[in-house]
Amino acid sequence: MSVVTTKMQGDIAVVTIDNPPVNAASQAVRQGLLDALRATEARQPAAVVLICAGRSFVAGADIREFDKPFLEPMLPELLNAIEAATRPWVAAIHGTALGGGCELALACSHRIGAPTAKIGLPEVNLGLIPGAGGTVRLPRLIDPIEAARLAVTGKPVSAAKALELGLFDRLAEGDLLAAAIALAKDAATQPRPEPLLTRAAPKVDRATWDAAMAKLTAKARGQDSPHEAAAALRDALDHDGVTALGLERARFMRLKASPQSAALRYIFFAERAVGKSPRTKDVPPRPLARIGVIGGGTMGAGIAASALLAGLGVQMVERDTDAASAGAARVEGILGGALNRGLISEAKHAAALARFDAASDYATLADADLVIEAVFEDMAVKKQVFAALEQACKPEAVLATNTSYLDVNEIAASVTDPSRVIGLHFFSPAHIMKLLEIVVPEAVADDVLATALHLAKTLRKLPVLAGVCDGFIANRIMSSYRREADYLLEDGALPHEVDAAMRAFGLPMGLFEMQDLAGLDIGWAARKRRAATRPASERYVDIADHICEAGHFGRKTGRGWYLYGPEGTPERNPDVEALIVAESARKGITRQSFTAEQIMTRILGCMQSEGAAILSEGIAASREDIDVTMVNAFGFPRWRGGPMFMQTA
Ligand code: 3H9
């Protein structure tokens, strides 16, 4: 069956695209649309409605075609032809109209949206700009700065906002097709709006424009495409539509061939490829309606809030009633924050609170389908919790640990049925961070793994599967490059130099600033715990230990790797720098200076060799697992794809 069909409904032609899953504008769709255009031009209906089957309007060009030569008909020419049609075309939009889908809607003479629809130009997220007239037509339809906001930030807008901006002519009350046909009938009786391409460019004062673009591109941090999108929009204001279209196309083609776009497209597909296991194919998950969370600290509260916001019931358990009240207050704080910021309605807030309870009694977990412990990182404590869970929970309940590095096989072996135990490593703040490392112990049952993946989906998290080892994927790589950064200090670099190199690379924060923010005492405690098992031959840098021994734990004590004044801005710490120089001397190391590039070559090389070890040991199944983890756990710049992608790109 053709992916594009045309049927008459009275005197209106209804053209339907049906190309699951997201109606991407593949070659077949483009050809189908061209055929539909020719047929409707020949038949001359009163008007044409363009609608999509399935869950969405066209969600963009087919990204999978981008690595191959483009096939005719090309999207820009097709859209020009649709815009030049003699009959009105009404785009009826539900789900998402993104990228080429938004551009298709702009080529139509009218647009109507379902109230839940979203529309936008997300090409920048793939290292691109719109390449089929988006930057040219949109500023000729709506306020050019608002048009730039869509193209430069890549963030879509809601149907209500699209109506307010003038991007939609109407919102559909009730049935979308019926409402679109009504609009098409109205359009057939009215003069055609002038095609956007031939409209005069709107005038925007240069200074106002530049200030707006500076604001919109402020967060680009090394990524080119937002700047390119802003420049394309400016071209569209400075030139007639046809000339601007040529400039946009040239820019699009150049960016499509760029390493940044290759990296961003890789990570787009990588994020959709991870979190799948052949073991769970055709294995239904266990029921999941109410979960238990042990521990009401920052992590436990974040996990609880995330589950409540996803519609699950949550029973929190703390060691006594005071701790339970404090944990409950943390959860209520997160939910209240979401309400105040307009992220959830009053009704959703009330319903989430109604599904929540905090207590000090494990017996309250009797009906929990899955329990996640988020208590202190200590094997003995974890085993005690699991022993209590075994007593309190129903036998089919999944028991999960949120440990970030402890041996999940050992935890599993401590209960009678180890097949029910799995690792669910959330990242802080757990209600915001998307990554969820699912740690798969040897004895785990397939349906327990399926339940963990189902939980990730319910919580709208990005699951990555990891094997059991110290630190799994995320913290194992983090520990290794942290160690390398410490070696760099002894070898001649200073903390601000390492941090500046990391920021210049595109990371949001340097490693030492990050440690100061998290608190140096956390890593110190972990190092002390591991001291007994650390091989004597291993190179060990004790600078951080000396800082902690002096009672300096980072931001919270005003001193750490840096000094913090009342403003909270990190300043170089002369005492620490003297300590570093003294440590190099004590170890007989001749200090040398490093360029930012040399620093990053060492840090990146270290991430890559640890990643290679993780792959060869089977801790991660693919390089995608590692790259997705690095991008989503530690802010590794998406536009570089990830350390493993960089090694092979
Ligand atoms: C563009 O349009 C350029 C033009 O300006 C100019 C051209 C000349 N192509 O995310 P999901 C697949 S650039 C191919 O899990 P959701 C996806 O891989 C494009 N495939 O679902 C997955 O496959 P699988 C501008 C695509 O409901 C499946 O669909 N558009 C495309 O969470 C489901 O995806 C964008 O950047 C595509 N364009 O989210 C939009 N999109 O099942 C990119 C998706 O095999 N897409 N797939 O793993 C999205 O943002 C989300 O997919 C969307 C749905 C919001 C649509």
For the stretch 599-622, pLDDT in tens is 999 999 999 999 999 999 999 999
**Closest atom of ligand 1 relative to the 103 alpha carbon:** 5
Which among 641, 645, 639, 646 has a CA at the least distance from the CA of 255?
639
Q: Which tens digit of pLDDT belongs to each residue from 187-197?
A: 999 998 999 99
Q: What is the structure's pLDDT at 526?
A: 81
Residue nearest to atom 8 of ligand 1 (CA): 131
Assigned CATH for 278-466:
3.40.50.720
CA distance 122 to 480: 35
CA distance between the termini of the chain: 39
Contacting residues for 448 by C-beta, under 8 A, at least 6 apart = 286, 398, 419, 420, 421, 422
Whether the pLDDT of residue 90 is over 80: the answer is: yes
**Closest atom of ligand 1 relative to the 62 alpha carbon:** 9
**Pseudo-torsion of CA 614, 436, 385, 299, nearest 10°?**
120
Q: Is the CB of 422 under 6 A from ligand 1?
A: no
- CATH 3.40.50.720 residue ranges of the chain are 278-466
Q: Which of 226-230, 565-569, 579-583 has the lowest mean pLDDT?
A: 565-569
Q: How far is the CA of 353 from the CAs of 108, 296, 331, 334, 456, in angstroms?
A: 45, 15, 9, 11, 21
| Residue to probe by mutation, ligand 1, list 3, 19, 22, most atoms within 8 Å of CB | 22
- CATH 1.10.1040.50 residue ranges of the chain are 474-618
The tokens describing 576, both together, are 């620490």
Helix 259-273 and helix 241-256, axial crossing angle in degrees, nearest 10:
70
Q: Is the CB of 123 under 6 A from ligand 1?
A: yes
Whether the pLDDT of residue 1 is over 80: the answer is: no
CA distance 44 to 15: 14
Going from the Cα of 132 to the center of ligand 1, the distance in angstroms, rounded, reads 17
Q: Which run of H or E residues covers position 51?
A: strand 47-52
505: confidence class by pLDDT, cuts 50, 70, 90: very high
580: confidence class by pLDDT, cuts 50, 70, 90: very high
Strand partners, 5: 16
CA 518 to chain centre: 22
Assigned CATH for 4-217:
3.90.226.10
Q: What is the structure's pLDDT at 566?
A: 86
- CATH 3.90.226.10 residue ranges of the chain are 4-217
Tell me whether strands 356-359 and 313-317 are parallel, antiparallel or unpaired: parallel
DSSP secondary structure letters along 144-202 = HHHHHHHHHH---EEHHHHHHHTS-SEEPSS-HHHHHHHHHHHHHHSPPPPPGGGSPPP
Which among 428, 376, 385, 443 has a CA at the least distance from the CA of 403?
376
70-96: average pLDDT: 97
The CATH architecture that domain 474-618 belongs to is Orthogonal Bundle (1.10)
**Closest atom of ligand 1 relative to the 22 alpha carbon:** 29
- 313 backbone dihedrals φ, ψ, rounded to 5°: -85, 150
Q: Which tens digit of pLDDT belongs to each residue from 105-124?
A: 999 999 999 999 999 999 99
532: confidence class by pLDDT, cuts 50, 70, 90: confident
Q: Which tens digit of pLDDT belongs to each residue from 367-421?
A: 999 999 999 888 999 999 999 999 999 999 999 999 988 999 999 999 999 999 9
Neighbours of 510 (CB within 10 A): 24
CA distance 566 to 575: 19
Going from the Cα of 283 to the center of ligand 1, the distance in angstroms, rounded, reads 27
